[in-house]
Structure 1
């Protein structure tokens, strides 16, 4: 029986697997791309703001820069105070600096919240408790800002002409809109059982986290001390810029105008409040007695210091934290 000779098959080339797309490296470049887009869109504001800085008194500008840097320290204290676990200090501070840049590139509060939520989960805090700590931070920051504003309004009742801050007849529709939103939200919670269950579970987790935090005096002090220091330092920065440009308004009145303006635009979903914050600050400073031209110069210079100067290094820090898997 003769053996059957099979035909020789041609050598097949080795199977090539596609290279993995470096997703994390691409994400590192996204903040820089967003910074470029935002800067191009607001190039006229940047040019005018830097022009105002050239005519200012530099000692007061250095005070404003120092107050701005301390806001990241205050934010780090508040973030640590909102969670029981001890977070790495240097990474926490770097994360707040990066979160500031993310906050100016995404709708207000969303960027910083996402960065800090990711940071806490990487540090080993469960997602449910990280979300509860984030909610506690936002609550403390809002209470601190509103409490500081209320205290200044009581101490200086004539500092602002409040009638100029809101259009005539706008208060009634505003409260009606807020009431309608609350009624709709309550109705959804009543009739959608799954959503109601999720909300109740989150509230139980948040209340438990708040009790645990306040059972430790050091955490409670960091939480509430930082939540008061953060808006106070921001207001100090604006007052320092006002003094640098010769705005004829007392510094405390400028601080009160800043708090009132930021509270007024808190619900405006614009990236970092860009546009809405400038307009509200100018209106508030004019309501405090400042000339419109000087108030505009002060606001532009202040936003250059607090937003545009830290934006590029903040974006670079954000990219570095992504690459190092800190967030």
Structure 2
């Protein structure tokens, strides 16, 4: 009983801190929006007059992200999943992700979907974690590739002291959590490693996992590129893609629902730092959010309700 009470207290404290951080981020976003309201208003007008063809291309890329997410989740599971319900679950997960912070909505939907397909809770959680890890690694690989293609945007300190600081910080970020969690997670990590090995023992599953992860991230960047073209934002597509990857990686550190506030501010700041005018950056962010969040939100919630009613979740 004592251990259960301690764990419950720890979960409650974590939830309180997460809620407080989310509220702080949203409050800061509202303050920034109020301060820069003229630029947002001009950006909205510019988006209303945008090229409809490019916006349709961005909408098509947004629809492709759900197909790629379904492909990546299938790659994380050895058992074959029904394609139609798998894609529908990803569409519903994208809507649920706008309600809960830090990807918890999508993770919960996918976890429930896999358990309904007969996977044990542990293996379902492992599959969701493997897919999320593959997505993060795919984003890192794409950043490295685009940084090499478009040099000058990612700058590393050239002096010796700066490099030492960066190296020590990276080691600390990776090593401290590993040292603290290793005694507790040894058995869990062994099971995860076994599941990962089982997935990669099948080339088709491995190709689906990594191909779907890379394609999903790439299509999200393509959505933003299409919107920037629609509003005539004067930035090269490769630079826009790199700025999106960097901004989305930074926004992932803040647990707001669907990246609300954190991703918006990070994208606007990245585009402005990349050379875009303030109103054009605002219109690009609004267009990206319109295609990836606001338009699919209500249909996604309806699909979520249908899947729950049919006991697919």
TM bucket normalised to smaller: 0.7 to 0.9
Partner of 2:189: 203
Partner of 1:224: 210
Give yes or no for the alignment of 1:141 onto 2:135. yes
Specify which of 276, 287, 294 is matched with residue 262 of structure 2. 276
Specify which of 152, 161, 172 is matched with residue 179 of structure 1. 172
Q: How does 1:126-165 map to 2 (within 5 A)?
A: 126-158=120-152, 160=153
Specify which of 277, 280, 284 is matched with residue 291 of structure 1. 277
List 4+ stretches of structure 1 deviating above 4 A: 41-45, 47-52, 171-178
- Judging changes above 3 Å, is the alpha-carbon distance between structure 1 residues 184 and 209 closer, same or farther for their aligned structure 2 residues? closer
- In the alignment, the residues of structure 1 paired with residue 108 and residue 168 of structure 2 have an alpha-carbon distance, to the nearest angstrom, of 30
Q: How does 1:28-177 map to 2 (within 5 A)?
A: 51-158=45-152, 160=153
Unaligned runs of at least 5 residues, structure 2: 1-25, 157-161
Question: If each structure's helix is expressed as a fraction of its own residues, which one has the higher value?
Answer: 2
Unaligned runs of at least 5 residues, structure 1: 1-37, 164-168, 191-195
TM-score for the superposition, normalised by structure 2: 0.80
- Judging changes above 3 Å, is the alpha-carbon distance between structure 1 residues 181 and 306 closer, same or farther for their aligned structure 2 residues? same
TM-score for the superposition, normalised by structure 1: 0.77
Residues 47, 284 of structure 2: 8 Å contact kept: no
- In the alignment, the residues of structure 2 paired with residue 307 and residue 267 of structure 1 have an alpha-carbon distance, to the nearest angstrom, of 19
- In the alignment, the residues of structure 1 paired with residue 199 and residue 226 of structure 2 have an alpha-carbon distance, to the nearest angstrom, of 35
Report the CA distance between 1:238 and its aligned residue.
0.2
- In the alignment, the residues of structure 2 paired with residue 206 and residue 184 of structure 1 have an alpha-carbon distance, to the nearest angstrom, of 18
- In the alignment, the residues of structure 2 paired with residue 161 and residue 143 of structure 1 have an alpha-carbon distance, to the nearest angstrom, of 18
Count of residue pairs the alignment pairs up: 273
Specify which of 253, 276, 293 is matched with residue 307 of structure 1. 293
- In the alignment, the residues of structure 2 paired with residue 115 and residue 205 of structure 1 have an alpha-carbon distance, to the nearest angstrom, of 22
After superposition, what is the alpha-carbon deviation per residue over 1:244-294, rounded to whole angstroms, capped at 9, x for unaligned?
A: 001010111111110110111111110011011011001111222111221
- In the alignment, the residues of structure 1 paired with residue 236 and residue 47 of structure 2 have an alpha-carbon distance, to the nearest angstrom, of 20
Report the CA distance between 1:122 and its aligned residue.
0.4
